[in-house]
């Protein structure tokens, strides 16, 4: 493990590099993070890599966090590969927290090659002072069985009522 810390009059800077090998189970994990705290904002970058060679699992993750006086933003990207079953998963998340509302965007793609299954999912969430709204879209394709499924969900919660609409097609 390597750590670097710098404190000046205007900001704080910290870097961390970590390597964790577990030899009996053949697990390796690498992590790098960078934190910067200044007078006007805070920034954090983090990258991690996990490798489990016995089961063929590899996971990459990148996170960026940005905090200012008026809002907080978080970006996260994850890639998962399971080579034994040839499964791949990609996920992207964007989170925004401001003084007036919270917004979250999430996109996920899953691909399983052995059964030729693909799943796409998109979610948008908005939480404000007066209401909550959630939109979700899912598309599922299983090519070997020629199955296709589309699903859309809309949820709206306000001070006076709750509404939910769901559409599905197969």
Residues 22 and 74 in one domain: yes
pLDDT at residue 24, rounded to an integer: 66
Residues 76 and 8 in one domain: yes
User: In what helix (H) or strand (E) does residue 127 lie, and over which residues does it extend?
Assistant: strand 117-128
Alpha-carbon torsion (131, 119, 29, 32), positive or negative: negative
Say which residues have a Cβ less than 8 Å from residue 62's Cβ, sequence separation at least 6.
45, 46, 47, 76, 77, 78
In this structure, the answer to whether residues 57 and 99 fall within a common structural domain is no
Final residue before a domain boundary, out of 63, 84, 105: 84
Give the residue numbers spanning the domain of 98.
91-170
Spatial separation of the C-alpha atoms in residues 157 and 140, rounded to whole Å: 27
Q: Are residues 9 and 72 in the same domain?
A: yes
Q: Same domain, yes or no, for 115 and 141?
A: yes
Contact 132, 107 (CB under 8 A): no
Q: Which of 84, 101, 118 is the last residue of a domain?
A: 84
Question: Of 84, 101, 132, at which residue does a domain stop?
Answer: 84
d(CA 10, CA 52): 42
How many structural domains is the chain composed of?
2
pLDDT attached to residue 73:
93
Cα 77 from Cα 57, distance rounded (Å): 17
Tens of pLDDT along the chain (170 residues) come to: 677 777 777 778 888 777 777 666 678 888 888 888 888 788 899 999 988 887 889 999 999 999 988 889 999 999 999 888 789 999 999 999 988 889 999 999 999 887 789 999 999 999 988 789 999 999 999 887 788 999 999 999 988 789 999 998 88
- Residues 11 and 80 grouped into a single domain: yes
Q: Note whether 145 and 160 are within 8 A (CB).
A: no
- H or E element at residue 168: strand 162-169
- pLDDT for position 99: 82
pLDDT score of 167: 93
In this structure, the answer to whether residues 111 and 52 fall within a common structural domain is no
Together in a domain, 50 and 98: no
**Which pLDDT value is given to residue 144?**
78
Look up residue 10 and give its DSSP letter: S
pLDDT at site 23: 64
Same domain, 68 and 141: no
For residues 103 and 90, give the distance between their C-alpha atoms in angstroms, rounded to a whole number: 20
């Amino acid at each position: 493990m390597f750590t670097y810390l710098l404190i000046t009059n205007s900001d704080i800077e910290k870097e961390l590099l970590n390597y964790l090998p577990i030899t009996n189970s053949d697990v390796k994990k690498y992590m790098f993070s960078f934190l910067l705290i200044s007078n006007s904002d805070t920034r954090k970058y983090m990258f991690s890599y996990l490798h489990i060679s016995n089961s063929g699992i590899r996971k990459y993750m990148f996170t960026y966090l940005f905090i200012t006086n008026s809002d907080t933003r978080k970006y996260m990207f994850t890639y998962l590969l399971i080579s034994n079953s040839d499964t791949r998963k990609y996920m992207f998340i964007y989170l925004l927290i401001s003084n007036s509302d919270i917004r979250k965007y999430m996109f996920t793609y899953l691909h399983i090659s052995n059964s030729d299954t693909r799943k796409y999912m998109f979610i948008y969430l908005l939480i404000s002072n007066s209401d909550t709204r959630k939109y979700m879209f899912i598309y599922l394709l299983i090519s070997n069985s020629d199955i296709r499924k589309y699903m859309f969900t809309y949820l709206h919660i306000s001070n006076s009522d709750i509404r939910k609409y769901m559409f599905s097609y197969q």
